[in-house]
Amino acid sequence: MLPCQKCGYNNELGRIFCHQCGQKLDLDAIRPASRGGKSLKPKGKNLAVKWIRRAVEMMVLLVLLYAVHLLLEVVPEPAKPSETETVAADKKWLALEKLVGRRQPSQVEISPAEAKAFLAALKAKKTDVKWGFVPERIWIEFAAGSVDLQMLATMRMGGALEKKVYLTYSGVPKIQNGQLVFEAKAGSMGRLNWPIGVVNTLGFHRYIFADVLGRLTTERETLSQLSRIEVHPDRVIVYHQPR
């Protein structure tokens, strides 16, 4: 390139006068590309690389936007338990308490409706959270060998944002060394599923659900007296074996 001594404009090779100001150029001041001048290589290849880079950046942006959409998507809530279902859940819990007091082996079956009705009354301990998640409603779904704890919560970010979000915490309830434990398998927010490694690293699934389920102190003690829990898509069977 030929830099103009008067205005500094970089002129193409072959010019005698500056394209911008008309000053006669000093041919001894030719600046190669290695010293800041423009490359004389064809521009076609560079242009293709530039458009490929822009296409990749656009694809990454679209993927991120879609991920955010999945994160913030809220699934329809199940209907709230009827009075009949709530009464049935209370009766089933009484049967479960009698179960652990028996001296002979026995079992009790719990339906999804009874489990949902039992959890429906649970509320968060803290509702004045400014940053974080405030649980509003929790319910449960049965699967083959595992359960999905599902929650509708409000995500708060100071006073700038308040958004309803949907959380799922999947795992296996089991009796281990005389204690009821929940072996987490996966988690999700909205429609975006996360592997258990990500769930455990972030930790907020465990914290949020523990905030609600932590109120079941007496119930947890009763369930810890069971010997085994079997989860089926249409029911949970709990077994009691006298120790």
What's 94-159 look like in SS3?
Answer: HHHHHHHHCCCCEEEEECHHHHHHHHCCCCCCCCCCCEEEEEEEEEEEECCCCEEEEEEEEEEECC
Confidence of residue 135 (pLDDT cuts 50, 70, 90): confident
Confidence of residue 44 (pLDDT cuts 50, 70, 90): low
How many CB atoms are located within 10 Å of the residue 211 CB? 20
How many CB atoms are located within 10 Å of the residue 218 CB? 9
pLDDT tens digits for 90-112?
999 999 988 888 888 899 999 99
Q: What's the one-letter identity of residue 47? A: L
Q: pTM, whole model, 2 decimals?
A: 0.71
Domains of the chain in start order, with CATH, are: 1-40 (no CATH), 83-240 (3.15.10)
Residue-level pLDDT at 108: 93
